[in-house]
Amino acid sequence: MTVPRGTQPRVRLAAPTDILATIPFLVGYHPSESIVVLGMTENRVTVTARDDLPPAGTEPHEAQVHNLIAMVLRQGCRRAMLVGYGGEERVSPVMDALLAGFERAGATVVEALRADETRYWSYVCTNTRCCPPQGTPYDTSSSEVAAAWTLAGRVARRDRSEYEAQIRPATGLTRDAMHRATAAAHERLIELVAEAEDEEQAEAALLNAGNLAIAEALDRQLRGKSPTDEQAAWLSVLLQSIAIRDIAWSRD
């Protein structure tokens, strides 16, 4: 799974704890039994890729390793950071394959970590004073990096199931309410365009409505509020316009 870059605060990933604190906000949730690859252009993280770890007792699939590396290289990234979440017997085979693959591609792996519960291990650092064999305890809940992401309006869900629940199709009364809101939004759009004297004025009115709807949605997100059915329906109808879609993609 690749994750596009959206609203990102300017944070410095100076230590393993900083990397571990920022990944949940890039992925959208706190990963487990996962391998995460951060691709970097110069000193900026520009692409994030996540995949499941292979089942216990199996070797990493060559295609999986190839795809993770290719996702990063296609974006022009020549540096990467890797994090595996889980036990050593499942993480290390994948990590070894990724390290070898990036080396063959001439890309630099800045850091490679394995995180398991409250400890992490580095595959890059060999200094036992800062990276002891028993692992290094860590806690991202009080991290300044995590605080910066939160202030930027980004949310890290507890796990994958909670993250996926956000896009699960609505049912029952909730679905009926959204159908009504969407029908009303279509009527609102027809009225907006009908009021314009010509095509140029209609386009201007549409772009203005799109800008306002996007700004309102971002403002509610920053305040930790979900959109109402009417707001969500109106924005979804407006986003059928490629021009408004481009505006939404450009906002950060």
Q: Report the helix count and the strand count for the chain, using DSSP H and E.
A: 9, 7
Specify whether the CB–CB gap between 47 and 38 falls below 8 A.
yes
Report the amino acid identity of residue 37. Answer: V
Report the amino acid identity of residue 91. Answer: V
| Tens-place pLDDT, residues 106-128 | 999 999 999 998 999 999 998 99
Helices 144-151, 16-27: inter-axial angle, 10-degree rounding: 30
Find the mean pLDDT for residues 47-65.
91
Residue 239 scores a pLDDT above 50: yes
Question: Band of the pLDDT at 4, cuts 50, 70, 90?
Answer: very low
SS3 2: strand
| Tens-place pLDDT, residues 178-192 | 889 999 999 999 999
Nearest Cα neighbor of 122 from 15, 14, 31 is 15
Find the mean pLDDT for residues 87-111.
96
Residue 167 scores a pLDDT above 60: yes
Helices 172-194, 199-222: inter-axial angle, 10-degree rounding: 140
Residue 17 scores a pLDDT above 50: yes
The C-alpha atoms of residue 145 and residue 202 are separated, in whole angstroms, by: 44
Pairing of strands 108-116, 79-85: parallel
Domain boundaries, the chain: 2-165, 172-250
Structure tokens of 98?
Answer: 């990724």
